Amino acid sequence: THELRTPLSNIKAYAETLANMPAIDIERQKEFCNTINTEASRLARFIDDLLSISRMETGGMSLLKHETDMMRLFEDVLGKVRPEMEAKNILFNVSIPAKLPKLHVDKDKMTVTLVNLLGNAVKNTGAGIPPEQLAKIFDKFFRSNDPRVRDRTGSGLGLSIAQEIVRLHGGKLLVHSELDKGSKFTVILPVV
């Protein structure tokens, strides 16, 4: 409910402020509109995640697999997450072999998976996962009670969605984690 209520409350508060302030300068108007837009986008992402989970649970998620140039897919994904990494001054090394096989994957859904995994890396760099919570991280709506990450935004759906997408591709999503050092997620996909 937090992921629904918070953006809705912020949208309502900023919209009411805009409506009730008789004289507001243009820069403040822009700032308020940007906040409303950001919160609406956050809400839309959460709703998209809920719809994805619902489709998965009912068996309604299908893949549109095509032979995919994995280098281009990785470049697309890296382009989406690199600004977040740079904004947090995270050193981000990419090591991709020169020759990658083309895989039969649903490019859009695989992009969602990798963006979810790398987005979590940005938010939780170095935290690691407590051993008693490791078995739960792929559960829907699971949120760690670790004080270092508890207050960070997120729906608790990203890893669940990523795991299901990888499973639908006939693959596996594995995790190895050391508390206070970090986590390593491995996506294993079949080569056709």
pLDDT digits (tens, 9 = 90+) for 74-114: 999 998 888 888 888 888 888 888 888 889 999 989 998 99
One-character DSSP codes across 78-105? HHHHHHHHHHTT--------SS---EEE
Q: What pLDDT does residue 152 have?
A: 61
Q: Please report the pLDDT score of residue 1 as a whole number.
A: 64
Distance of CA 40 to the CA centre of its chain: 16
Q: Is 19 exposed, middle or buried (0-12, 13-18, 19+ CB in 10 A)?
A: exposed
pLDDT of residue 146: 65
pTM, two decimal places = 0.72
Residues 6+ apart with CB under 8 A from 191: 101, 103
Q: Which three-class secondary structure state does DSSP give residue 188?
A: strand
For the chain, what's the residue count? 192
Distances in Å between the Cα of 122 and the Cα atoms of 2, 27, 69, 118 are 21, 30, 25, 6
**Three-state SS at 116:** helix
Name residues of the chain where pLDDT drops below 70.
Answer: 1-3, 142-155
d(CA 183, CA 162): 16
Report the pLDDT value the prediction gives residue 144, as an integer from 0 to 100. Answer: 67
Question: Of 94, 95, 154, which is closest to residue 124 (Cα–Cα)?
Answer: 154
* pLDDT for res 154: 64
